[in-house]
Structure 1
Amino acid sequence: MTPLVLVHGFGASRHIWRRVLEDVEALAIDLIGFGDAANLGRAGQTVGEMADALAGTLREAGGGPYRVAAHSMGGKVALLLAAQNPELVSELFLIAPSPPTPEPMDPEGRAKLRAAHGDRDALNAQYHDITRQPIPEQDFAQLVEDGLRARHDAWIAWPDVGSREDISGELDSLKLPITVLFSEDDPAISPDTIRSEVLARFPGARAIPIHGSGHLIPLEKPEAVLSLLQAKEERP
């Protein structure tokens, strides 16, 4: 069975996959600047730097190539990882991914995102704003704690650098299977953005739209993620 890797999104950590990991075996990784890798974050860090660090972690783990499931910011990182290290990735599952082109976000939204770092009340408000389903109290508290412990430089680098990057020109070599799971009700990365900036750039990708979830699909609708990953595992 091809091993599975789980990559979190902005501000979170590997803990965002807790409900998924109850039913699948996978390696959940913290990106530099977040979770247990917070101290490795740096000012102005790019998508490429995150992808390089992730590649190094996978090489150390051995046993690849991997199926990679990645959420939000992690989706953009995973795309570049796969393009630059085809020997490490056999398949991509992008879940509410940040697009490879600059993420649509107005100046007010970027400023609000920057200001949320280290502010418990702002983090609480942010996660309430981008969800549509209730999240278990333990998981919501973990999201906030992850936001508080993320490295400030890495946090600021996403709205100021990573989310603005256009890596689409580096993805032409991608030949692997890609599945995109997204919510029609996502208030953070709209379904229009997913269709125009992700699916339109990968015409062979499989699209799986769902309803009723906000942006945090791994916590709001873990059954949708499990259905996707388990179906792939059971394929002959």
Structure 2
Amino acid sequence: MWYDVVERLDPRRFRSLLLDFRGAGLSDRPASGHDFPGYLSDLEAALAASGGAVLVAHSMGGKLAQYLATARPTALRKLILVAPGTADAYAMNPKHRALAEDAFGSRARIEAFQRAAMRREVEPEVMERIVDDALVAQREAWFGWYDHGRTVAFADRLERIAVPTVVVAGEHDPLAPPARVKRSVAERIGGALFVSLRNAGHNLPVETPDEVAGVIERFA
């Protein structure tokens, strides 16, 4: 998801560390820990190992990043949340759960889901890359967030975030609508800046890599 953004950042100014959570990408496939505490521990370990970083997080990672920031880790310098999940709980929807079950391992259904989440067209090789990435996900990881992460609520903790924060939303995001992101994320974090990208959906790192890279360059 982040390759197109990273290639637009000046390597003389930025060192980019990309995290695959457990069960995804090239990370290990443990049988346990596919829940909010497990993924949070992955993020905590990566941030600590960085020696200090600006944390840029998207969607599910954005929700985890908010919780991590409330603990005020010394390695966290700044926070950039891109189309983030909110600190509210999301009710389980049996219909959506069944659709996720049907999509697991299906290239056609995964691509259809990704296209439905986006507003802008992306190059065929970009779509192929993110679908390939989804196809290698461990089954426990595929459902771990849906079953054990979305339902976690911690809105009362957001006032503890003390680092400079930017919140970025897509104008036509069907999963994290900008009004909700502004109300439930940006306005709950003291001093946070809110940016809405025009004609964009949920997968902003591949839909709007120039704009996201620009936010990172100016803010970080």
Same fold per superposition (TM over 0.5): yes
The alpha-carbon deviation at position 229 of structure 1 amounts to: 0.8
Structure 1 runs (4+) greater than 3 angstroms displaced: 40-43, 103-107, 169-172
Structure 1 window deviating more from structure 2 (71-80 vs 198-207): it is: 198-207
Cα pair distance change 1:41/1:142, threshold 3 Å: farther
The alpha-carbon deviation at position 122 of structure 1 amounts to: 1.1
Q: Would the aligned equivalents of 2:72 and 2:162 in 1 still touch at CA under 8 Å? A: no
Matches within 5 A, 1:68-147: 68-103=55-90, 106-147=93-134
Following the alignment from structure 2 to structure 1, what is the Cα–Cα distance between the partners of residues 183 and 205?
23
- Is 1:56 the counterpart of 2:22? The answer is no
| CA offsets 1:162-203 (integer angstroms, 9 cap, x no match) | 011112234342111111010121112112321232123224
- Is 1:33 the counterpart of 2:23? The answer is yes
- SS of 1:228's partner is helix
Q: Would the aligned equivalents of 1:75 and 1:97 in 2 still touch at CA under 8 Å? A: yes
- SS of 1:132's partner is coil
Q: Would the aligned equivalents of 2:171 and 2:178 in 1 still touch at CA under 8 Å? A: yes
| CA offsets 1:99-151 (integer angstroms, 9 cap, x no match) | 11124774423332343221112101101111111112222111111111111
- SS of 1:33's partner is coil
- Aligned counterpart, 2:146: 159
Letter of the structure 2 residue corresponding to residue 34 of structure 1: A
Letter of the structure 2 residue corresponding to residue 51 of structure 1: L
Following the alignment from structure 2 to structure 1, what is the Cα–Cα distance between the partners of residues 207 and 189?
26
- TM-score normalised to the size of structure 2? 0.89
The alpha-carbon deviation at position 85 of structure 1 amounts to: 4.8
The alpha-carbon deviation at position 156 of structure 1 amounts to: 0.7
C-alpha RMSD of the superposition = 1.9
Q: Would the aligned equivalents of 1:38 and 1:150 in 2 still touch at CA under 8 Å? A: no
- Aligned counterpart, 1:22: 7
- TM-score normalised to the size of structure 1? 0.84
Q: Among all aligned residue pairs of Structure 1 and Structure 2, give the percentage whose two residues are the same amino acid.
A: 28
Mind listing any 5+ residue stretches in structure 2 that lack a counterpart?
Answer: none
2:212 to 222, 225, 234: 225
- Is 1:184 the counterpart of 2:171? The answer is yes
- SS of 2:79's partner is strand
Q: Would the aligned equivalents of 1:179 and 1:206 in 2 still touch at CA under 8 Å? A: yes
